[in-house]
Each structure stands twice: as C-alpha cells, then as structure tokens.
C-alpha cells in the first residue's frame, strides 16, 4: 500500500493476471521462508505513527501533501486523508533500550514536524480519533489526491455495491449514518509496532499476540470520542471495520470474510498460512503488475505484498526480502497517543506478552477456542478496563468471564519475562511496564480521560465547546509528555 499508483480503470484481464501472479508468489514464499539462512538476523523492533494535522482553532488542517514537500524527509508519508500523516520510525535492535530509542525518535520527528507545520499554521496531534472531528470532514473532499487512495475508494465501493453503514451505539450516545466516502476509515490513526520473528517461532508468537491483544488494547485505548459522542473505548476498531466493509449478504446465506478482521483461526504451523489465506479469501483491489527490479538474493514478491496491504487484520504477517530476509508480526490495533512514553509502553507490553507467553500457547489454545479470543478482543475494544473476558481458570468445566484488569495484572510479569528473553535491559522494561501498571492502578487510559473529561465539561458548556476545550486540554498534556495516568482529572 505504500507504492504510488496511477489512477486508472482495471480490466478483467488485469485482475486475472494479478490473481495468477499472487498465487504463484505465495507458492514461492512457502519455499523461501524454509531456507536455512532466512530470518537468521538479530531481532529488531520497528514502528509507524499516524498523526492528525489540525489548525490553531482545533479544526482539521488538510495540508499533508504540502507539508511533505516542506519536510523533505522520506520517513514522513501520506495517509488516506489530507489531515493525516505517517511517521516511519527507524528499526532498532530489541536488545538494550529499544523502547527509549523509539520514544526518543518519535519526539524528535514530532518536534521537527511541529517546527515545519507551524509555518502554515498547522499543529500535529497523536490521538486515535480527533475529538473535534465533524461529519463534514469525512467526505472525499478531504481524501489525499493520490491514485492509490482513489482506486481503493472506488474498488471497495464497487465490491460492496451499496453505501457503507456506520452504526455505533453506546447507551444514550450513538452515531448512525450511511456513506459512500472512504474518508471515514481515515478518521482512525494508530501506532503500529513491528517485531521480527524467526520462521520456526512465528506461529507461536503470532498466536500469542492474538491471544493477548485484548489486554494490550484494553489498557491502551485512546479513541473514545467520535463526532462529539462518547462511544467505545477503542472506537477505531468498530469504525474501521464498518467503514471498509466491502461485503454484502450473499444469496446463498453466507458472507465473504471482512477485510478488517481479527483473523480466521489459530495459525497451525507456519506464517505462510496467513499469506495463503489472504490470497485465497480476498478479491484483489490493486491488480498492478511489477517487474522484479530487486538485485537481492531473495524475491521481492511485490504483488503479494501489495495484496497483503489491501486487507487490514489487527495483527498482520509481513515478509521482507532485504538481507537474509525475515518475517515480522505487525501489531496494528494500538492507537496513536496519548504521549510518546505511553506509546512506547504499549509497544513494550504488547511485545513482552507475545514473547513471554509463547512457550505456553499450545496449552492456552486448547482451552480458548479462537472465537473466544475474538470475543475478548471486541469486548476490550468496547469496554476497555471495564471489560470482562473469557479466560481459562484452574479446574474449570465451562467458559468463565474474568475482569480484564485481573488478567492485565497477571500479564505484567509475563511481559517482563518476554522482554528479558529479548535481552531488553532491566531498567528499560521496568520503566515502561510501570507506566502500564500505573494506568491499571488509576483506571485512567487515554479513552477514559477523554470521555470522562468531555462528560465533565458538558455540565458547564455546549457539547461543541466541550469538545474544543477537551482538545485543548489533551493537546497541552501531550506537549508536556507525562503519561496519561498522571494527567489532571477534572471529574475526580
């Protein structure tokens, strides 16, 4: 999805040739990842941060392409909407102090972005969904003027054949509307974390990342407000799924799998299964054929990678042909914000759990069917730290719901053990896991802070003014850089 594409109409022959190409490439991948030297490199961690661009009044600032020209830095990339940018952070070795390195570069890049953006009266903000976002901002008028986004919007709508239905209900507050605009999907911004994983360990690590994702999401939620409404703690999850759902009911009574998905089952043996699923379950959107330009010893597989980027699982398998080649788990569910320290802590907790529990994953998979893990994910997205999830108990003979807070507390030691396996320094892991522990103790996540603050402000002003004030308070706290658990809480 990072490739620039010229906007054009595709023929049936384009799709047929592309389909053959990705089937051929997934077969090639099966052999490549079994080569003796493949994936034999020191473990690295990477990250991508998506940010909002807003003006001095807190409205969106649709200037991303103008800013990119001014920045002259390839680590900054465009996003679907004109008021978003992505910062691609440098990969770092897992050994030592990787999360401090990530947080430091994040701050440096953010400061540079700020210094350039202020020249055109624009300010960057890291938040899952901008509290002052309005429905008028979710139209194609705000779509970034690049071919790949126009193709994506056209093809998803063509596959669906009807408007997308956005319906999110949370008690007294709800949003419910129909739209043909893909820019609704662009309302979501995330902090995507990558972990290199050896091929023989991949299935265990990936399955563990799936199993523990509800705990990571519940304690890191930062997308509680959409269009002035207090909704799910991580509203991004349901909004993304509904805004990119190209499916319609089939006459036979079954539906194609969603392109935004938790997954289709536990990985049995190999990462290859995830690539094969994507090739065999999803219609292509970008049937572009490329000539193999890479001079490396491993095939680039550009069509397969392009196709993988046109589906959006919450954890994704990634193939790289660089060097000896490697596989990565991409953790895609974490939101942007509230601060660099919070995001680094979320990365440490997610990676630590995935590595720390992987040796016991077979035992857990035998006690937690995949559909229970998926249920846990959506419960955590909706209710955050108030969620109860299905989790195995000693001597159980039926599924038991347990407060997610209890499991997060247990997972802190698991995450610490996992980070130790990666040779993360002791003071490093303690620093970032303490941030998670503090969030758990106070009950204050980004989502909780924004929703509770908005409700408090509504008591003395209109909802529109309350959202604007909320944004100002959030912005000031983010600039100070303290973890969200240390922010002042007006409702207490």
pLDDT at 1: 47
State the CATH number of the domain containing residue 111. Answer: 3.30.590.20
pLDDT tens digits for 253-283?
A: 666 788 999 999 999 999 999 999 999 999 9
Gap between the Cα atoms of 210 and 358, Å rounded: 11
- Residue 449 in any domain: the answer is yes
Say if residue 251's pLDDT is above 60.
no
pLDDT at 2: 54
pLDDT tens digits for 373-385?
A: 999 999 999 999 9
Gap between the Cα atoms of 426 and 357, Å rounded: 18
Interior CA angle at 55 toward 49 and 60, to 5°? 65
Range of the domain at 153: 12-486
- Bridge-based pairing state of the strands 388-390 and 173-179: unpaired
Interior CA angle at 337 toward 206 and 376, to 5°? 40
pLDDT tens digits for 100-149?
A: 999 999 999 999 999 999 999 999 999 999 999 999 999 999 999 999 99
Say if residue 82's pLDDT is above 70.
yes
- Residue 5 in any domain: the answer is no
Q: How many domains does the chain have?
A: 1
3-state SS assignment for residue 215: helix
3-state SS assignment for residue 47: strand
Gap between the Cα atoms of 214 and 237, Å rounded: 12
pLDDT band at 247 (very low <50, low <70, confident <90, very high): low
Gap between the Cα atoms of 8 and 5, Å rounded: 9
3-state SS assignment for residue 143: strand
Gap between the Cα atoms of 83 and 402, Å rounded: 40
- Residue 1 in any domain: the answer is no
> Is residue 140 within 8 Å of residue 153, measured between CB atoms?
yes
Gap between the Cα atoms of 321 and 170, Å rounded: 45
Cβ count near 363 (within 10 Å) = 11
- Residue 410 in any domain: the answer is yes
Lowest mean pLDDT among 71-80, 97-106, 152-161, 324-333: 152-161
- Residue 4 in any domain: the answer is no
Selection from 21, 12, 15, 116 nearest residue 70 by Cα: 116
Q: Is 72 left (phi over 0), alpha (psi -120 to 50) or beta?
A: left
Tell me what percent of the residues of the chain surpass a pLDDT of 70.
96
Strand ranges (E), 114-180: 122-125, 164-170, 173-179
- DSSP code string of 15-35: HHHHHHHHHHHHHHHHHHTTS
- Residue 7 in any domain: the answer is no
pLDDT band at 5 (very low <50, low <70, confident <90, very high): confident
- Residue 491 in any domain: the answer is no
Total count of residues recorded for the chain: 492
> Is residue 248 within 8 Å of residue 161, measured between CB atoms?
yes
pLDDT band at 51 (very low <50, low <70, confident <90, very high): very high
Gap between the Cα atoms of 315 and 160, Å rounded: 24
For range 304-311, the mean pLDDT: 96
Gap between the Cα atoms of 58 and 430, Å rounded: 36
- Residue 455 in any domain: the answer is yes
- pTM summary value: 0.96
Gap between the Cα atoms of 318 and 309, Å rounded: 9
pLDDT at 395: 84
């Amino acid at each position: 999805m990072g490739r620039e594409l010229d906007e054009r109409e595709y023929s049936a022959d384009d799709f047929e040739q592309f389909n053959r190409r990705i089937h051929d490439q997934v077969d090639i991948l099966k052999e490549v990842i079994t080569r003796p030297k493949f994936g034999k490199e020191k473990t690295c961690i990477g990250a991508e941060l998506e940010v909002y661009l807003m003006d001095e009044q807190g409205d969106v600032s649709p200037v991303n392409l103008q800013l990119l020209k001014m920045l002259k830095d390839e680590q900054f990339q465009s996003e679907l909407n004109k008021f978003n940018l992505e910062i691609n952070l440098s990969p770092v070795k897992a050994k030592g102090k990787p999360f401090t390195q990530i947080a430091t570069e994040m701050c440096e890049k953010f400061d540079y972005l700020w210094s350039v953006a202020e020249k055109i009266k624009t300010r960057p903000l890291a938040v899952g969904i901008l509290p002052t976002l309005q429905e008028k901002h979710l139209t194609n008028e705000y779509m970034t003027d690049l071919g790949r986004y126009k193709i994506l919007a056209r093809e998803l709508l063509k596959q669906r054949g009807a408007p997308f239905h956005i319906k999110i209900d949370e008690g007294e507050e709800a949003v419910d509307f129909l739209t043909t605009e893909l820019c609704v999907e662009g309302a979501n911004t995330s902090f995507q974390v990558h972990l290199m994983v050896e091929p023989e360990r991949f299935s265990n690590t990936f399955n563990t990342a799936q199993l523990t994702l509800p705990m990571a999401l519940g304690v890191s939620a930062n997308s509680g407000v959409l269009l002035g409404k207090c909704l799910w703690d991580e509203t991004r999850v349901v909004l993304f799924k509904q805004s990119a759902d190209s499916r319609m009911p089939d006459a036979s009574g079954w539906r194609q799998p969603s392109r935004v998905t938790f997954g289709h089952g536990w990985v049995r043996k190999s990462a290859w299964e995830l690539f094969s699923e994507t090739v065999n379950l999803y219609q292509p959107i970008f049937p572009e054929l490329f000539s193999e330009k890479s001079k490396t010893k491993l095939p680039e597989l550009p069509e397969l990678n392009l196709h993988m980027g046109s589906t959006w699982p919450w954890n994704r398998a990634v193939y790289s042909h660089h060097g000896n080649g490697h596989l990565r788990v991409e953790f895609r569910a974490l939101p942007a914000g509230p601060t660099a320290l919070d995001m680094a802590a979320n990365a440490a907790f997610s990676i630590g759990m995935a590595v720390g529990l992987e040796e016991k994953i077979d035992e857990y998979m035998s006690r937690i069917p995949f559909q229970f893990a998926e249920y846990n994910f959506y419960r955590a997205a909706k209710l955050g730290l108030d969620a109860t999830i299905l989790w195995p108990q000693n001597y159980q003979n039926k599924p038991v719901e347990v407060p997610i807070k209890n499991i997060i507390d247990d997972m802190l030691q698991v995450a610490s053990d996992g980070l130790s396996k990666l040779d993360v320094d002791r003071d490093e892991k303690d620093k970032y896991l303490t941030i998670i522990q503090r969030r758990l103790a106070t009950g204050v996540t980004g989502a909780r802070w924004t929703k509770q603050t908005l409700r408090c402000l509504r008591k003395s002003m209109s909802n529109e003014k309350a959202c604007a004030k909320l944004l100002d308070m959030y912005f000031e706290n983010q600039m100070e850089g303290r973890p969200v658990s240390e922010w002042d809480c007006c409702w207490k």
